[in-house]
Structure 1
């Protein structure tokens, strides 16, 4: 408050006093006095606190003086809560003045709601010093409980008085412990004497317990004695009493000499033997001891380069000589299967040439892919013999028929009254973007799994390759030999006479798939040779039919994938009918004409009515499935058509080969190239637009769409979100011009203008359709 303001306050006080001493007419009431004081506080002319009863005012300076007086009267320590009833002032006011006091008086401290001065702290430190001198050491943690002060605050006060009031030292490794010089000297001598008498590794907990040494001081003294070379020893296991071990150098030297000599003579170190020598963590000891020596650390031991080089040489010899080697017998007896496996993997990892050709069998056997492949010729005579046998006996033809029947049955419901519901459910799933109908709907993508004992890094066969497996095909497939039968044949071979059973069974499992494939191929060739011997021309015609039917079925399946891109159910139905009317009719015509030739029927006319007449003239075993296929052709369900096609193909003895993914991709690429050629050759604007949208649809969806020209508007609507804005507008413009050309036949002038504009747009449409890439499907301005 400024001096001028204070003078005015004094004048007002004097006037106030005179008013009080004047006659009754001039005296101020208590209410007036309160109002005057309140006005002065409001004008910030005075700064006071109310008492808790509201009858008195007290200034800030007076409150500070009274707080300091009470602190002195209470021996230099008093809590703020105790001052509230004593001073009759609120806790908030006392707390605010306490903060001002500690800022102006550095000898006063506010700790956990208490005011404490340095005099009180000095007395506490004197008591602590007395305790320290009596016991030799103290812990700040225990003192905090005794004096009810925070540990950090008390530690700071003690540390500032060490050397003055407190005569002692702070532990370097534990800042909460203090001790006297005499205590340190006594225990240093005790620890030095105890350690000097130890000649074998001894746990620290045993040393402390037997000699009753202070735990807090032990490690600090031991470190000092070791660093000053007073004690020739070392500590292992860290600074934990229950883990740490004291190891004299005399023992370490003899121990290290034994370990070094053993490693030099034998080339390995067993962890169990090192544990018996007293090493708590033998692997960590070896890493530290031999950090400059290249060692391979295994699960039960560590091994040097000499043994690794011997094993690597044995593996190289086995691979180069197209034989095999069992690694475990070449290793010392302390090595187990896991150690042998780790050694093999390490050698192959560091030798890329070996890794490329090596094949690890089990955990400890190594051979090469060439060795496995060289075993296949052993079975060639057996494959030829059995293939001829199954073809001659009719088992091969029966197996093919069983496969077709199994597939057909797996897709036909047992109850006829559920057929429509299931078809409707599949149709809804197809429209919702799930797996398409037809053959795709009943094929499952599976990954072949290896036997649990196939642990080789490089397999002789591509067992992990994806395959499309039809339902029921595996169960009816002819088997060449079981794995056990293959194993029995291998055991009779001289090169495998000493091989363990696990090794032979693993080789047999690796050969099984390849031999089975070779057997199936041999049976197929034998069957085709049989057909060729009976009717060479018939076989050729049959093979050509198979190829044409296979291509048509593939086109139908690809067309079904394409039409499923449309969300409109009506558009899908129209596209399905168009697909069946074109590709489906062609497939039915191929089958009907093929079987009709055998029945000496005229196949010149293949219109729907003529086709029905041809079917009616066929034998009963052919007439029924072909009538079902002909009827499905008139519907709008691709899956039903494909199911009927399965039955018809089985009846006509048409065996389809497994779909080759590479050929399928090549077929899709070929169809794209055909569209590009058609687009280049097209002159008519409507045809150019039609082929261009089909080509763009293929680029966007990677599927082929079988659609006539009347579906062009729907296809353009589908493509618009996937095309750049300029391309979409170009297609829409040409579409509008084509429509305008059709509607303006009578107006020659307008027709000429429209055709002129179309001629200018056709090259741009061709270029946009051919050069469009899938990566650019995001619309751009």
Structure 2
């Protein structure tokens, strides 16, 4: 504190004293005194503590003196919490001064919230020494509980007074243990006597428990006695009493002699027997004991060369004679299947006399040769040929082909199924909205995708469908089973060479033969099917080709009809024309497919001209993989949505293995010309006025739109109404006149005179209508937008 500040303090103190000694009018009040002291504390001119009741102040030095006084009065040890009520000072103030006292006075220690001086610690050390002399040993853990002091603090104070106040020594293996020389000598003698009397391997925990020895001293004394050769023995298992074992050398010598003799006489050593002799780790003992001897170490025992040579000779004989041998009965009874398997693997790997590549281990302990297993296949050859002929003759093979193809489509094209469903909904939506042109483009793209799926790597010819059907038969026949594993095992058990074989051996052989027998059966079935198919291949190929051509033509007509329908503005007319198109060309396409697959699946069908009821009956008798797609197509043909029909046709054609050829642009250009010639021939052959008018308007519609409209006679007025705006007025009037005469003829059946007049007029108009329809040409046809 600066001299000027101190002078100021003295001045204020003098004034304070004068104020107290002056009369009542000149004295300071208690509140003023508190404010003055508070101001001095805030200015850090004085450093004092408040008492808990706030009525007194105490300086730091005074507080330290009072704490030391209380420490002395309480015998050199007092808790800081006990000082709070005694000194009437806060715990924080007492703690800060206690820390200062412990730092400035080395003889006083602050430990766990307590002040302890060296005199008290010396007193504790005297008590510890007295206890040590009585019991012989003490532990710091016990002292910690007794004196309620930290373990490290007690350990530090004991070490400081060891050899002075405390007479003893610290355990070098456990620093928290102290004992006397007499205690150490007594226990060393007891341990030496106990170990000297033991002649068999004994658990250390049993030795300690029986003789009531301190575990901490036992290992140190035992190691000392063994290292100085005072005790001829060894300790195994580490330094834990419940694991370690004391083994006298006299027992080790007799034990080694017994082990050597047993291995020499029997050719093996069982780990369980060595464990009963008292060996904790038999395998490690054998590796160390027989380091110079070649032994095979198994899971339950170790084997010498004598047994290995016997097994090698038995396996060699089985391989050379193309038979089999069970190794486990040739081994001692202590060996299990796992041991036998390890011995076989060792013999096959290390023997130079065995053809290891041809050896085959069956189960865990049987050995045979691959040649022996392959020879067993010859037994099943007649059975394979007989079964192959049966499945082909019964039609099971053909059904398996269809089932396999259906399963393959479901597994390979789940996304395509969703795509078909989405396109189906999209086409139905477009058809209801009356939009133009979308269906044909989507249809052509779909046809190309189907073509790639089924004709990849093949030439475009009439035989493609047949080649794909036959070529895929090998993979499809995997659904057919030649013989179950149980039946194969029964056939093998009837063989003389396997009559005494265990069931596990026969079953394992059957499992190994099953894939090759199944493959041979598939190949035999395929060859049998091809042999049967070759007899009728020419007729079938022709039928399939005709079906392809017919279906392709019908689909083209439906597409053309769909384009033609879009030229009519009325949605009602479009729907009626679509329904008519599906009932004619669509039903014809369904009949063609149903007739074809009914012949292929042996379902009764006498004619291709099927009614709805007859067609439904045939579809119900078909296999499910064909029935479901054809049922959908049959249902769509009764509706009025062409897009839905085309989508269902895609699925049905795929299920029936009908693959459309790639569109030929040159041939497509000739289609309109062919369609026109067909209409012209029909027009020239027609004699009835109504038929002439019907064909003439279809021909003119074709000329105007370049599409073929599939419409019945009742749609003629709508077609003429459409053509009125696209033909010269004279042609339109000519068609309207003939239309009126046809209607008049139908409505005047009772009036013969009028009927004769109408017919006369129609005869005059028919040649003109024929000539006009054939001769009319338009340079630019209407196109759909």
Which TM-score applies when normalising by structure 2? 0.60
Change (3 A) 1:536 1:256: same
Change (3 A) 1:11 1:294: farther
The answer to whether 1:373 aligns with 2:374 is yes
SS at match of 1:480: coil
- What do the CA deviations read for 1:487-536 (whole angstroms, capped 9, x no partner)? 2332344554553221111111221232133223212322321332x335
Change (3 A) 1:402 1:220: closer
Q: CA deviation at 1:17?
A: 2.0
Partner of 1:752: none
SS at match of 1:535: helix
Alignment of 1:121-520 (within 5 A): 121-286=121-286, 289=289, 296-304=296-304, 307=307, 311=311, 323-344=323-344, 359-391=360-392, 394-395=393-394, 397-398=395-396, 400-401=398-399, 404=402, 479-493=481-495, 495-520=497-522
Partner of 2:457: none
Answer yes or no: is the 8 Å Cα contact 1:199–1:248 preserved in 2: yes
Answer yes or no: is the 8 Å Cα contact 1:615–1:627 preserved in 2: no
Partner of 1:608: none
Change (3 A) 1:301 1:428: farther
Q: Distance in 1 between matches of 2:374 and 2:163?
A: 87
Alignment of 1:685-724 (within 5 A): none
Q: Distance in 1 between matches of 2:647 and 2:176?
A: 84
Partner of 2:29: 29
Q: Distance in 1 between matches of 2:121 and 2:647?
A: 95
Q: Distance in 2 between matches of 1:489 and 1:507?
A: 11
Q: CA deviation at 1:35?
A: 1.1
Answer yes or no: is the 8 Å Cα contact 2:315–2:367 preserved in 1: yes
Q: CA deviation at 1:648?
A: 4.5
Q: CA deviation at 1:79?
A: 0.3
SS at match of 1:195: helix
Partner of 2:715: none
Change (3 A) 1:34 1:145: same
Q: Distance in 2 between matches of 1:499 and 1:261?
A: 36
Answer yes or no: is the 8 Å Cα contact 1:51–1:57 preserved in 2: yes
Q: Distance in 2 between matches of 1:629 and 1:525?
A: 35
Q: Distance in 1 between matches of 2:39 and 2:357?
A: 99
- What do the CA deviations read for 1:533-554 (whole angstroms, capped 9, x no partner)? x335236668999999xxxxxx
Change (3 A) 1:428 1:292: farther
Answer yes or no: is the 8 Å Cα contact 2:389–2:525 preserved in 1: yes
Change (3 A) 1:233 1:379: same
SS at match of 1:129: helix
Answer yes or no: is the 8 Å Cα contact 2:420–2:647 preserved in 1: no
Q: Which residue, out of 531, 534, 549, partners 2:533? A: 531
Change (3 A) 1:233 1:5: farther
Q: CA deviation at 1:325?
A: 3.6
Answer yes or no: is the 8 Å Cα contact 2:78–2:116 preserved in 1: yes
The gaps in structure 2 that reach 5 residues or longer are: 411-416, 426-473, 550-581, 601-606, 620-626, 663-785
The gaps in structure 1 that reach 5 residues or longer are: 413-422, 432-467, 549-580, 600-611, 657-673, 675-781
Q: Distance in 2 between matches of 1:628 and 1:6?
A: 118
Answer yes or no: is the 8 Å Cα contact 1:51–1:88 preserved in 2: yes
SS at match of 1:279: coil
SS at match of 2:53: coil
Partner of 1:63: 63
Q: CA deviation at 1:231?
A: 0.8
Q: Distance in 2 between matches of 1:344 and 1:267?
A: 16
Q: Distance in 2 between matches of 1:17 and 1:224?
A: 82
Q: Which has the larger radius of gyration?
A: 2
SS at match of 1:375: helix
Q: Distance in 2 between matches of 1:278 and 1:355?
A: 40
**Greater Cα offset, 490-499 or 124-133:** 490-499
Q: Distance in 2 between matches of 1:56 and 1:426?
A: 98
Answer yes or no: is the 8 Å Cα contact 2:52–2:90 preserved in 1: yes
Q: Distance in 2 between matches of 1:522 and 1:540?
A: 23
Q: CA deviation at 1:184?
A: 0.6
Q: Distance in 2 between matches of 1:97 and 1:430?
A: 93
